[in-house]
Structure 1
Amino acid sequence: PHYYSLLAAYLECQKVGAPPEVSARLAAMTQELEARQRTALGGLGAATEPELDQFMEAYHEMLVKFREELTRPLQEAMEFMRRVSRSSARSPSRADRCAISFPLA
């Protein structure tokens, strides 16, 4: 049962910074994965292997933290760009502030 959550966490990491079309494909893969998980859980119960389960849980947690670490710089950069954009929209253009006039005669 941990395999599907592990794979979903991996796909979420792949979405970080991906172009919209790639992100959409990964989202579709995640939905397909969830459907397969529901089907698998409805079937025979998987044999439990405590050591493997423990490893998969730990790896899943690591992937979730990794995704958070990947996302943070992108969010900070996007916030910086929003602030710069707002600031430049409020202030006069740079050309207007730096205009130098020379007398013609």
Structure 2
Amino acid sequence: MEVGGLEMSDLIKDQIANHPLCPNLVSAYIQCRKVGAPLEMASLLEEISKQNRHSTSSRCEIGADPELDEFMESYCEVLHRYKEELSKPFDEATTFLSNIESELSSLCNETLTTSFKPGNCPSGNQLALAAYFILFMINLLTSVTGFVTRKLVYSAV
């Protein structure tokens, strides 16, 4: 009985691999994996995606197995929606970090232009406080970015 089940499993895998929507399915999966991935991993996934698009294996026609057609279409759609949902917190975090960076830059430029006028030099304590604040914000932003990235990567797995 095991042999028959294994043969059936191989047959189903073969039907999925040869379905005309298989490249779309693989592409949708890769797009999900790219969300929040480190640059090196995203580049590798993009290369795999390109190879997938250029594959020229024999494909059956849509309509040959309506049940499989519906499954493939539905699964592609689910993966596209999943990618959109995965992207939302990452995009929000990126926007938040960009806004914080802009605010810090504005704050630092404003402090530098007003503080360093002749006769208005900041004291050592003011400089130390500003430096600690900037280091604190950098550490906070790094932690938030790392947390969001890890959360997205682990939820994608």
Percent identity (aligned): 33
Question: Aligned partners of 1:6, 1:22: CA distance in 2, in Å?
Answer: 19
**Deviations 1:38-94 (CA, angstroms, capped at 9, x unpaired):** x23xx5x51521100101100100000000000110010010011111111112379
Match of 1:32 in 2: 51
Question: Aligned partners of 2:100, 2:26: CA distance in 1, in Å?
Answer: 37
Match of 1:72 in 2: 88
Match of 1:15 in 2: 34
Match of 1:103 in 2: none
Aligned length: 91
Question: Aligned partners of 1:84, 1:74: CA distance in 2, in Å?
Answer: 15
Query: Equivalent of 1:6, from 21, 25, 35?
Result: 25
**Structure-2-length-normalised TM-score:** 0.54
Question: Aligned partners of 1:94, 1:17: CA distance in 2, in Å?
Answer: 35
Question: Aligned partners of 2:48, 2:74: CA distance in 1, in Å?
Answer: 23
What SS does the aligned partner of 2:89 have?
helix
Give the gaps of 5 or more residues in structure 1.
97-105
**Structure-1-length-normalised TM-score:** 0.79
Question: Aligned partners of 1:7, 1:94: CA distance in 2, in Å?
Answer: 53
CA RMSD of aligned residues (A): 1.7
Query: Equivalent of 1:54, from 67, 70, 77?
Result: 70
Query: Is 1:95 the equivalent of 2:129?
Result: yes
**Deviations 1:17-45 (CA, angstroms, capped at 9, x unpaired):** 11111111100100000001xx23xx5x5
Amino acid at match of 1:60: C
Question: Aligned partners of 1:58, 1:35: CA distance in 2, in Å?
Answer: 23
Question: Aligned partners of 1:52, 1:10: CA distance in 2, in Å?
Answer: 18
Judged with a 3 Å threshold, the aligned counterparts in structure 2 of structure 1 residues 94 and 51 are, in CA distance, closer, same or farther, namely farther
Question: Aligned partners of 2:22, 2:32: CA distance in 1, in Å?
Answer: 16
